[in-house]
Structure 1
Amino acid sequence: MRRADVAGPALARPSLAIPAGALIGAVVTVSLALELLRPIALLLAALVVLLPALLVRDAKLYWLSVFLFALQFDVKKTLVDGLDVLRTLQLDAQPWVFVPEIRLSDLPFLALLVLWANDLRLKKARLRVPGISWLALGFLGWAALSLARAPSRYLAAVELLRQCKFFVVALYAANAVESKQTLKRMWLILLLVVLVQGGTTIFRFTFDYYGSFFGDLFGRTLVPEGREHQAELLIDPYGESGLGGLRNSFGTTMSAGTTSQLLLLVLPLAAFACTRNPVFRRRFACALVFAVGGLGFVLTFSRSSMIGCLAALTLGAWFAVRRRYISRTLAPLLCLGLLALLASSAPMVGDYFTRKSLNVTVRFEQYETAMSMIRANPLLGVGLNNSVVDARRYAQFSYSLIDVHNRVYETPIHSFFLTLLVEVGVVGFLLYMSMFVWAGWKAWRLARRSADQEAAFSALVLLLGLIGLGVGVSTNALFEDGVETLVYFYAGVILSLERRAGAAGESASRAPEARARRARQEARLGE
């Protein structure tokens, strides 16, 4: 990337740097004197993040960078006691989302919303509501209707609030990501996310450290688990393959599946940053970032995400040759090298995909139960976030302790699309899917036909991230707030790119007419 692209914003008010430093020093001194170690850590972190916003020239760009970077951290504060909720609901399995919470990424996003609202008030910006927004509002309205028959309206309301937040994120991205400078800053931060997630995953795997980096700084965040659960985290707990003794690693979240989904969204950017692209110039550095992120992705040992990655890479290779990111002579060599690598590691790849066959059987039983729930509630569904609550009614139990039917309800349904269909019915499912199919179609057109090379590159990496994740969650759950927020942000950026491309095309089509008009005026003046 060019030097100007990666340089930080210049200080807008250098005179504030001295009092800011004095304030930090005073806070540290008082906290140490009172032996308040935890508050000092939190206050220092808050000051380090907040003070630059007062000093940089473009506060919106700064807060956008902080927001995107914070999405990868599973730092949150729940508003109610989750254990009390679980005891009250008395469920067979723990839902993915069951408490309202304030996440670290919500704070910079709130700052972005305040700045955006101020620009709208001063008429420095204009609110643009894309046509796809009506599909989103239709989905939210239909999901709200499902609350009427949901067994647990509390769980449905918690999830509905999350979905409303995601819609606001998409609307903000569609309006605020307007300049190439903003787009390049976004790509730079997401490359940093690849590096952090990959590096952290490798670190955990190498040093066998799987605890939280923050400890109990933000209170209790995990429900205590027993030894049986720890055994489930092993890739091959019974040592039936060559992968015995290994376990799923993860990054800054406490889930290998979540880490792999986050990397699915951002790895296409790192991969194409290594090619002959119009955005990044330091390709060797980008190749190192991609190598770290790719290795971390493999160490999550997520089969469903790996299948999604292969689907995105296959489509990406076709686009790379078509858009001349990779030469036609280099592409066959890369394919041969990949095939040779797969052939040499065939036994390990086989072990990778065939391990834990019992889990696969359990998931198929979950899908059978889900289909029974869909047939019984085809229109409204069982209620948003209520698939776990209502599952027992459609159970097939056995008195045998080893029967797979009795394990179906240990976890929620491991298929995002089936879960969505169960919870909001056919109508809600079609509304939701139409949003992202529409956004994906716009990205496809931009990636194939846009004359703006940077817009085509941006649309391509966004499209590949969404496709890879979509394939991955067909047999896995999608529940992590940071991942879903980034999905909606991607959709909003695609809409912004499409709007800018349409405006540029309209200007280009009017240019010949304007030149002809000026020529006629000059001819009249000459006469």
Structure 2
Amino acid sequence: MQASGGMRAASAVGVCLGAATLVITALPSPMLQLGLLGLVCPLVAVLSGNLRRVLLAAVLLDTPLLLGTHLGYRPDLADFGGLVGWDISVTTLALAGLYALWAMNLLGRVGATHRPAWRASLPGAAYLACVAVSMLVAEDVTAASFQLALIAQMFLLYLYMVSVVRTREDIVFLVTVLVTALAGEALLMVAQGLGGSSFSIPSITGRVPLSTLTQGQASRIGGTIGSANAAAIYLSLLLAPAISVLLTPLGRWRKRLALLAIVLGAGALILTLARGGWVAFAISVAIMCLLAHRRGWLPITAPVALIGLVLLVGLVFRTTIETRLVAYDEGSAASRIPLMQLALRIIEEHPLLGVGANNYVLAMQRYATPNFSDYGGDWLYLVHNHYLLVWAETGFIGLVAFLWFLAATLRAGWRAWQTNDRLVGALALGFTAAMVGHLVYMNVDLFNDRAQTQTLWVCAALLVCISRVEVRSERAAVSEHALTGQGRASRARPARLVLLG
């Protein structure tokens, strides 16, 4: 009877989503499309039985799909890489639903009540405060509010996750959704690369830059994210966690899903032609293999097999890799150095508070004249170094807050990795290794758009959630042992890890 009911619910969900897709296709406005999705999600949740998980899954799936619109669109900011408007997306709607549910739980005592984890969220709150304060010195307050709106949404998502995601089952569910999203995005990118053409779905567009094709170079694939570099950030940040799933005691189907995501993701990462993404992925995998072997989780043959798998994928895309590494890149790498020097000039004059959030692209045009070309500058764009960008826009205080946020995340991951819990330790190792790789990657690329920002904040939140779950379970075991005097906790069977809802 339960299986029959589950099949009926799944069928109903499929019919609803299919009908919604057809209706969305005919809608003229992204806002109307978002409104329809807002109506469909509760229906899907009722049929599936868990609204909270449906909304969280919507956030994770929206990270690469970028279903939304920008209110107050500013083409003058788009030309130089700035944030172009107030971002309203599926994530925005899902956050509204999640906080409405949370408020009902807190005020009405309906279901489990989870108090806000303010202490764990303090580094993120400090960075958000610095972004808000920078508006006081911003030349264009409206442009600054675009970034404030984005960071505020990311902080609210972070606060919700670290406060409400409390169980091992929740962690497994979120990791499964992330790996599924990775596999889906990578599959689209590989298909796009092999087909050599663009695709278009309502509100979703995949692009192959025609300029690279016409010059006879290998094309760069951006998938649904659009930018090849942004897609590389997304892929390289999630590949290490996908590999870590193979080290956990989870079931076969999740490990097979993770293996599929790894193979497709590695191929898609190659097709982005983002050398920084390749380096970040290599660093994260090296760290993970070294520490996993140190814990006895990884036999010496496993890294060899992994290297063989990567080499196999590399052979498939050998021509693409050789072209990117050997062929002339039109000064792409060299042109970033003058942009960094320009950022340092701005920082020199505005060291404490910066020029204001999302105001760098406005300020740099004044500093680029008249002698930008004197030190090699021939391409004016947003600086490809996220640390310098944060410092230039929010000042030294903002940079310290951002580094505090990253350090707190790594500390949580390191603490969780050192536990004896194989599930928690392996997942923490994967996410921590990925974060370390991206500490390096942030020196040479852009991390300001929603896709990169949301992926970073979601991974950071999951690391904190993982560390908090393990800390609570260890304390519970100690308390139970002290009360019974029998060590019952040490003999208890581990909790069954299933995908609920």
Q: Identify whether the pair has TM-score above 0.5, normalized to the shorter chain.
A: yes
The CA deviation string for residues 301-344 of structure 1, in whole angstroms up to 9 with x for no partner, is: 11111111111111011123123332134445655886899899
Give 1:482 deviation, angstroms. 3.1
Q: 1:475 to 1:56 in 2, by over 3 A?
A: same
- 2:318, 2:192 → 1: CA distance? 26
Match in the other structure for 1:320: 292
Give the structure 1 partner of residue 280 of structure 2: 308
For residues 239-254 of structure 1, the aligned pairs below 5 Å read: 244-254=216-226
- The reply to whether residue 502 of structure 1 matches residue 471 of structure 2 is yes
1:433 equivalenced with 2:409 (yes/no):
no
Q: CA deviation at 1:10?
A: 6.6
Q: Report the AA paired with residue 502 of structure 1.
A: V
1:442-481 map, 5 Å: 442-447=412-417, 449-481=418-450
Residue 8 of structure 1 and its aligned partner are, at CA, apart by 10
Check whether the contact 2:293–2:299 (CA below 8 A) recurs between aligned residues. yes
Shift of 1:186: 1.0
Equivalents in 1 of 2:96, 2:3: separation in Å?
A: 22
CA offsets, 1:443-468, max 9 Å, x none?
Answer: 01211x21222111221222123223
Asked whether the equivalents of residues 130 and 398 of structure 2 are also in contact (C-alpha less than 8 Å), the reply is: yes
Helix, strand or coil at the partner of 1:358: coil
User: Is contact 2:165-2:171 (8 Å) kept?
Assistant: yes
Residue 131 of structure 1: SS of its match in structure 2? helix
CA contact (8 A) 2:80 2:382 kept: yes
- Tell me, yes or no, if structure 1 residue 103 matches structure 2 residue 95: no
Deviation per residue, 1:22-72 (Å, 9 max, x gap): 9998998xx8xxxx9447995886665442212222221222122211221
SS at structure 2 position matched to 1:360: coil
Residues 208 and 338 (structure 1 numbering): CA distance in 2 closer, same or farther, change over 3 Å? closer
How far apart are residue 295 of structure 1 and its match?
A: 0.5
Name the CA shift for 1:421/1:280 in 2 (closer, same or farther; >3 Å).
farther
Distance 1:22 1:338 in 2: 40
For the pair shown, the structure with the greater C-alpha radius of gyration is 1
Aligned residue-pair number: 478
Structure 1 residues 8 and 262: CA distance shift in structure 2, 3 A? farther
Tell me the distance in 2 between the aligned counterparts of 1:212 and 1:144.
Answer: 37
Q: What secondary structure, in the 3-state scheme, does the structure 2 residue paired with 1:101 have?
A: strand
Letter in 1 for 2:69: K
Write out per-residue CA displacement over residues 417-461 of structure 1, whole angstroms, 9 at most, x where no aligned residue.
1111111111110111111111111201211x2122211122122
**Residues 171-214 of structure 1: CA deviation (Å, up to 9, x unaligned):** 11101211122111112211111211111111211222225433
Q: Is 2:84 aligned against 1:112?
A: no
1: CA distance, partners of 2:266 / 2:4: 31
Q: Does 1:412 align with 2:382?
A: yes
1:146-185 equivalences under 5 Å are: 146-185=134-173
Partner of 1:523: none
Q: Which amino acid aligns with 1:116?
A: W
Q: Distance in 1 between matches of 2:312 and 2:21?
A: 59
Change (3 A) 1:295 1:404: farther
The TM-score, its normalising length taken from structure 1, stands at: 0.79
Residue 75 in structure 1 maps to residue 46 in structure 2: no
Indicate if the aligned counterparts of 2:71 and 2:87 stay in contact, CA closer than 8 A. yes
Task: Please name the residue that 2:458 is paired with.
Answer: 489
Shift of 1:281: 2.3
> SS at 2:80's partner residue?
coil
Name the residue aligned to 1:362: 335
Taking structure 1 as reference, are residues 160 and 358 closer, same or farther at Cα in structure 2, changes over 3 Å only? same
Q: CA RMSD in A?
A: 4.0
1:57 alignment counterpart: 49
Which amino acid counterpart does residue 252 of structure 2 have in structure 1? R
Q: Contact 2:230–2:451 at 8 Å: present in 1 too? A: no
Q: Do structure 1's residue 277 and structure 2's residue 248 form an aligned pair?
A: yes
CA distance in structure 1 between the aligned counterparts of 2:140 and 2:423, rounded to whole angstroms: 47
Partners of 2:384 and 2:115 lie apart in 1 by 38
Distance 1:80 1:93, change over 3 A: closer
Matches within 5 A, 1:183-194: 183-194=171-182
1:421 and 2:391 are equivalent in the alignment = yes
- SS of corresponding position for 1:72: helix
Amino acid at match of 2:454: T
Q: Please give the secondary structure, in 2, of the residue aligned with 1:378.
A: coil
Check the 8 A contact 1:135/1:432 in 2, yes or no.
yes
Distance 1:27 1:463, change over 3 A: closer
User: 5 Å matches for 1:15-414?
Assistant: 37-38=26-27, 42=33, 49-83=41-75, 86=76, 93-123=79-109, 124-214=112-202, 230-231=210-211, 233=212, 244-273=216-245, 275-282=246-253, 283-332=255-304, 334=306, 349=321, 351-354=323-326, 355-356=328-329, 358-395=331-368, 397=370, 405=376, 407-409=378-380, 411-414=381-384
SS at match of 2:190: helix
SS of residue matched to 1:126: coil
Amino acid of the structure 2 residue aligned with 1:453: R
The answer (yes or no) to whether the contact 1:197–1:252 under 8 Å persists in 2 is: yes
3-state SS of paired residue (1:114)? helix
Moved more, 195-204 or 45-54: 45-54
Quick check: 2:115–2:163 contact (8 Å CA) kept in 1? yes
TM-superposed deviation, 1:158: 1.4
Percent identical residues = 19
1:515, distance to aligned residue in structure 2 (A)? 2.2
Distance 2:358 2:452 in 1: 17
The alpha-carbon distance between structure 1 residues 342 and 153, as it changes in their structure 2 partners (threshold 3 A), is same
SS state at 1:359 partner: coil
**Alpha carbons 1:147, 1:156 under 8 Å: kept:** yes
CA distance in structure 2 between the partners assigned to 1:292 and 1:141 by the alignment: 39
SS of the aligned residue for 2:52 comes to helix
How big is the shift at 1:379?
A: 0.6
The residue type equivalent to 1:483 in the other structure is: Q
Alpha-carbon displacement from aligned partner over 1:202-248 (angstroms, at most 9, x marks no partner): 1211222225433xx69xx99xx9xxx852x45xx75xxxxx43210
**Quick check: 1:138–1:431 contact (8 Å CA) kept in 2?**
yes
Aligned counterparts of 1:334 and 1:104: Cα–Cα separation in 2: 36
Distance change in 2, residues 1:395/1:482 (3 Å): closer
Look up the equivalent residue of 2:331 and give its one-letter code: L
1:395 maps to amino acid: A
- Gaps of at least 5 residues in structure 1 are 1-6, 239-243, 520-527
Alignment-mate amino acid for residue 462 of structure 1? F
Q: Is the partner of 1:474 in helix, strand or coil?
A: coil
Q: What letter matches 1:500 in structure 2?
A: V
| Distance in 2 of aligned mates of 1:358 and 1:26 | 46
Distance in 2, Cα, partners of 1:323 & 1:280: 21
